[in-house]
A and B are shown apart, each in its own frame.
Chain A
Amino acid sequence: MTPLLEFAQTSFSYGDRLVLREINATISNGECIALLGPNGIGKTTLLRLAAGTLSPRAGEVRLQSQPLHRLKQRTIARSVALVPQDVDVSFAFSVEQFIEQGRTPYLRMFGGLQAADRTAIEEAMDHTDTRSLRSRVFNQLSGGERQRVKIALGLAQRPKLLLLDEPTQHLDIGRQFEMLDLIRSLSRKGIAILASMHDLTLIEGTFSSVWLLSPEEAMRKGTPEEILQPELLELAFKCPPGYRSALEDRIRGRRELVL
């Protein structure tokens, strides 16, 4: 079976600074993958390569065996949706107007939203429980609401692959769990997910695979149990000595919550 998305010897550099070196990995339909790695290692870059908004310096990214650079961005955006971390909306767009933008790849030059577009928008709001927010101004939403609305825009694209950049960042613990529920429910609907994550306690039970970017070695791929090993994480995140037991606690999620 051809994979949904494939990184083939994909490298990327910003100027002279090599960020990603010869990544080889595939995402199959319906897979749910957590992308781990230290700050600045290139998690966001990897997601942008997958979304086609950055082009690899060497190698290729393929969508259903088609190299992304041969596809129009509109075509890519109908299969792959990237939910960026920070969004800065100018003007007071309502939640509904914000989500409508997810239909952009389907619209003709002079045409407006059609019935099919409306259906996609309503369904996206259903899945993310954002119907009640539709008339609110996007810039006035709380962090958790904002995150759900951003995912609704991505779903309005009707993607096969959803790329989430730090979906749980800046969320309180309840909103983090809500986000995990949402990710699981989207995954059950057959949407493949690649999400960059920081909180190691939120991986198991939600994600079926983990990709670990490390400065010292090639990207590791495996099940959560295989990758969430103290030795691997210590190396990847360059943990200072003396924190081994704290790291082990963190991985098993047994850390007591200090409020």
Chain B
Amino acid sequence: MARTIAPVDGAIASDAEPRRSSLHRIMVGTLIVALVVAIVVSLGVGAVGVPAGKLALTLLGRDSLTADQRIIIISIRLPRILAAALVGSALSVSGLLFQGLFRNPLADPYVIGSSGGAVLGASLGVFLIPSLSIAGFGATALLAFVGAVCSIVLVYALAHVNGRTHVVALLLAGFAVSTMLSYSSYFLEVLDHDFGIGLRVLAAWLHGTISQPTWGQLAIVSAMLVMGLAGSVPLARRLNTLSLGEEYATQLGIHLQHTRVAVIVIGSVLTAAAVALGGLISFVGLVVPHMMRMMLGPDHTRLLPATALAGAVFLLFADTVARTIIAPAELSVGVLTAFIGGPFFLYLLRKTKQELLL
């Protein structure tokens, strides 16, 4: 079909779309570079410093490290770095999905109750069966994962009436279940007989601490992240349509129920995977999607890759600071995410004039 567009209109037409798409490509490229730089820098810093030159030579294939340095870098730091990147990515993508589903900027990965179940699970692990271990995961991680999944299933069942999942009911049930479960963990704390050691383990977990993972654990969590990301790709466009409201989404042929279930399943798998490696890390899942949205606009198909990368960079940076700032001791990474994420988020909020872009 031949159509001529007047030159003036054509100029306007070509303006907005390529600008948005090139900004998006620049952002993704920058984030990939940032992630590589962050990994290399993070490998070199810590209680035992490794000179940057030696590290670079090693990465280029000319190994000049001592045996001790090699063990520290390959067996201790690298898994920890990968864990931080995976957890940051999983939490951020989960936050993006839930914000899109609930059409609510305050939604985060824990919005439908996973944190409450995770707290209770972790408490059970710490106080009752600390010796449990499967596939390298300890009792805290395993039971936190199981708890998160169970509480989401419970919340989903509560909000599911007559074949429909009610979104507001999901939010409210999530809040109620999460609060009940996390407070019920108090009863377990009373059982603590080992002079508060369990309580301190639990507190570190509650504030979010990236554990030192085995390669097997990393493989399992990576697989979950890859599946979650792949599943999110076709969902991203649906979330755009869903942003116009249910009436539009239904009319345009989006199956609301299937979309909701898919978002809940994928978001929950990502959150539970993150919880297993890092405990409850605040702010990442809330802030990173917002940062990306403020810079790239609300299109979920563009936000998805950018958010996955930015989450990895952000948490890797925070975890590197957390393990070096008071080395050889460590801070909980959740303290850092709150201190870095909070002010940066507020700065973006102030800077962005367009009705908060929420």
Interface size class of B (residues with CB under 8 A): 35 or more
> Are A96 and B12 in contact (CB-based, < 8 A)?
no
Q: Does B185 contact A (CB under 8 A)?
A: no
Of B241, B250, B358, which one neighbours A92 at CB under 8 angstroms?
B358
Residue A105 contacts which of B9, B243, B252 (CB distance < 8 angstroms)? B252
CB nearest neighbor in B for A93: B298
Smallest CB separation, A153 vs chain B (Å) = 8
Q: Are B243 and A93 in contact (CB-based, < 8 A)?
A: yes
Interchain CB contact under 8 A, A90 and B252: no
Q: Is the pair B357, A119 in contact by a Cβ cutoff of 8 Å? A: no
**Of the 9-residue stretches A72-80, A183-191, A197-205, which lies at the interface with chain B?**
A72-80
Within 8 A of B (CB), among A135-183: 135, 137, 139-140, 153, 157
A132 to B205, CA, bound (A): 53
Inter-chain contact B298/A97, CB cutoff 8 Å: yes
CB <8 Å contact, B244 and A107: no
Residues of B within 8 A of A74 (CB): 252-253
Q: Known A51-B251, A134-B16, A139-B355; judge A91-B298 contact (CB<8 A).
A: yes
Using an 8 Å CB-CB cutoff, how does the interface string of B250-289 with A read, 1 for contact, 0 for none?
A: 1111110000000000000000000000000000000000
Fill in one digit per residue for A122-134: 1 if any B CB lies within 8 Å of its CB, else 0: 1100000001101
Interface: A237 (CB within 8 A): no
Q: Is the CB of B358 within 8 A of A134?
A: no
Known contacts A94-B297, A97-B299; decide if A87 and B245 are in contact (CB<8 Å). yes
Task: Give the chain B neighbours of A157 by CB distance below 8 A.
Answer: 252
Count A/B pairs, Cβ under 8 Å. Answer: 102
Residues of B within 8 A of A82 (CB): 247, 251
Known interface pairs A112-B301, A122-B5. Does A77 touch B251 (Cβ–Cβ under 8 Å)?
A: yes
Q: Do A92 and B13 touch (CB < 8 A)?
A: no
**Of residues A88, A102, A104, which shows the largest number of chain B Cβ atoms within 10 Å of its Cβ?**
A104
Task: Check if B251 sits within 8 Å of A53, measured CB to CB.
Answer: yes
A84 within 8 A of B: yes
- Say whether A89 faces chain B, with CB atoms less than 8 Å apart: yes
Query: Smallest Cβ distance from A50 to chain B, in angstroms?
Result: 11
Nearest-neighbour CB distance to chain A for B262, whole angstroms, equals 12
Docked Cα-Cα span, A52 to B252, in Å, equals 10
Q: Are A135 and B244 in contact (CB under 8 A)?
A: no
Contacts of A97 in B (CB 8 A): 240, 297-299
Does B17 touch A at the CB level, under 8 Å? yes
Kindly state the separation between the CA atoms of A234 and B16 in the bound complex, as whole angstroms. Answer: 51
Contact B253 A96 (CB under 8 A): no
Query: A98 and B244: CB pair below 8 A?
Result: yes
Give Cα A82–Cα B13 distance, bound, in whole angstroms: 26
Residues of chain A contacted by B250 (CB below 8 angstroms): 53, 73
How would residues 23 to 35 of chain B score, 1 for a CB under 8 Å from any chain A CB and 0 otherwise? 0000000000000
Give the distance in Å from the alpha carbon of A89 to the alpha carbon of B299 in the complex.
Answer: 13
| A94 proximity list for chain B (CB < 8 A) | 16, 297
Find chain B residues with CB under 8 A from A123 CB: 3
Partner of B241, one of A76, A91, A101, A140: A101
Q: List the A side residues contacting B5 at CB < 8 Å.
A: 122
Complex contacts, B252 vs chain A, CB 8 Å: 73-74, 77, 101-102, 104-105, 157
A137: contacting residue among B243, B253, B355, CB under 8 A: B355
A89 x B243 contact (CB < 8 A): yes
How many angstroms between the C-alpha atoms of A122 and B244 in the bound complex? 20
B282-314 vs A, Cβ < 8 Å mask (1 yes, 0 no): 000000000001000111010000000000000
Chain B contacts for A84, CB-based, 8 A: 245, 247-248, 251
A110 located at the interface, meaning its Cβ lies under 8 Å from any Cβ of chain B in the complex: yes
For residue B241, which residues in chain A have a CB less than 8 angstroms away from its CB?
Answer: 101, 104
Residue pair A96, B244 in contact (C-beta under 8 Å): no
Q: Nearest B residue to A81 by beta-carbon distance?
A: B251
Which of B16, B240, B244 neighbours the largest number of chain A CB atoms within 10 Å of its CB?
A: B244
18 contacts between A and B (CB under 8 A): A52-B251, A76-B253, A82-B247, A82-B251, A84-B247, A84-B251, A91-B293, A93-B240, A97-B240, A98-B244, A101-B240, A101-B241, A104-B241, A110-B233, A131-B9, A132-B12, A134-B12, A157-B252
Residues of A that sit less than 8 Å from B by CB: 51-53, 72-74, 76-77, 81-82, 84, 87-94, 96-98, 101-102, 104-105, 107, 109-110, 112, 119, 122-123, 131-132, 134-135, 137, 139-140, 153, 157
| Given A51-B251, A97-B299: 17 more A-B contacts, CB < 8 Å | A53-B251, A74-B252, A74-B253, A82-B251, A84-B245, A84-B247, A84-B248, A87-B248, A88-B245, A97-B298, A101-B244, A102-B252, A112-B301, A131-B9, A135-B16, A137-B354, A140-B354
User: Interface residues, chain B, CB within 8 Å of chain A?
Assistant: 1, 3, 5, 9, 12-13, 15-17, 103-104, 233-234, 237, 240-241, 243-245, 247-248, 250-255, 293, 297-299, 301, 354-355, 357-358
Going nearest first, the 7 A-B pairs with the smallest beta carbon separation are A74-B253, A91-B298, A90-B103, A104-B252, A73-B253, A92-B357, A135-B16
